[in-house]
Amino acid sequence: MKIFVDSANLVEIEEAFKRGFASGVTTNPSILSKEERTDFRQHIRGIIRLLGRYGADIPLSVEVFTTEPHEMLRQARELAEEFGDYPGLNIKVPIGWDELRVIRELKQSGVRVNCTCCMAFNQAAMAALAGADYVSLFYGRIRDIGYDARGVVESVRRAFREGGVASQIIVGSIRHIHDINEAMMAGADIVTVPPKFFPQMVSHPKTAEAVEQFINDFRNWNAPR
Ligand code: E4P
């Protein structure tokens, strides 16, 4: 069970890594577009530099930004070349018919792949069989159209385990704390979480009540008489 940071924001990433619970970072073109406009390669370099302070090969997913198959392969190779000196690099490729060729070619050249935008069991199975190191299931988006996201994660988990598939399951597209809990309980290897949820994940009104009570009781008892 692992938590990745679903963000390209340096401050948010660092706040998570400082606290020890995070073990990877996922980005996508939309996530990158939330950052200050700059050369995106420079921004990725900044993330890599930051991650280097916390470990040598922390997984970082960077996604292609085209749907045209030849251009996708070109971009993927360029990203792999540009950031290939970072051992934690994973190229994110969306699931699709032509995209499977991109995944295979990247794998043949030794590049790690995160196959993204999977909404269904069959897509996850195809991504894994094509050799993806990570298969990303989109919890919130599966639910948006009324499907059972937990069921999809459970089925993929079972099939990977029983079929001896090595691909790791990342669950993304998190919309609520409950999605994170459910995805972990359903057997996700990794849940990639938007940083706004992290403080909520350690908060509980009964915890606040208990801590306050302990401090008050002690202060009253310890006060000079
Ligand atoms: C992570 O890998 C995904 O790109 C991300 O979680 C998608 O989230 P969204 O469905 O909120 O865009």
**Domain boundaries defined on the chain:** 2-222
Q: Of the residues 145, 173, 174, 190, which should be mutated to test ligand 1's pocket, given the most ligand atoms within 8 Å of the CB?
A: 173
CA of 172 to the centre of ligand 1 (A): 5
Please write down the long-range contacts of 200-206, taking CB distance under 8 Å and 24 or more positions apart: 201/177
Hey, which residues are catalytic here?
92
Substitution site in 6, 62, 93 for ligand 1 pocket (most atoms within 8 Å of beta carbon): 6
Distance from Cα 67 to the centre of ligand 1, integer Å: 17
| Backbone dihedral angles phi then psi of residue 28, each to the nearest 5 degrees | -150, 170
pTM given for the model:
0.97
Residue 138 CA, ligand 1 centroid: distance in Å = 7
168: DSSP letter: E
Residue with tokens 């990977």: 160
Work out the burial of residue 141: count CB atoms within 10 Å of its CB; fewer than 13 is exposed, 13-18 middle, 19 or more buried.
middle
Q: Which residues of 33-66 are buried (b: 16+ CB within 10 A; e: fewer)?
A: eebeeeebeebbeebbebbeeeeeebbbbbbbbe
Fold category of 2-222 in CATH: TIM Barrel (3.20.20)
**Residues contacting residue 116 through CB under 8 Å, at least 6 positions apart:** 28, 61, 63, 92, 93, 94, 95, 136, 172
Q: Beta strands 2-6 and 190-193: pairing type?
A: parallel
* Count, residues in the chain: 225
Question: Over its length of 225 residues, how does the chain's per-residue pLDDT go in tens digits?
Answer: 999 999 999 999 999 999 999 999 999 999 999 999 999 999 999 999 999 999 999 999 999 999 999 999 999 999 999 999 999 999 999 999 999 999 999 999 999 999 999 999 999 999 999 999 999 999 999 999 999 999 999 999 999 999 999 999 999 999 999 999 999 999 999 999 999 999 999 999 999 999 999 999 999 999 998
pLDDT of residue 82: 97
Q: How far apart are CA 37 and CA 43, in angstroms?
A: 9
Instruction: Please report the atom of ligand 1 found closest to the CA of residue 26.
Output: 2
Classified as helix, coil or strand, 222 is: helix
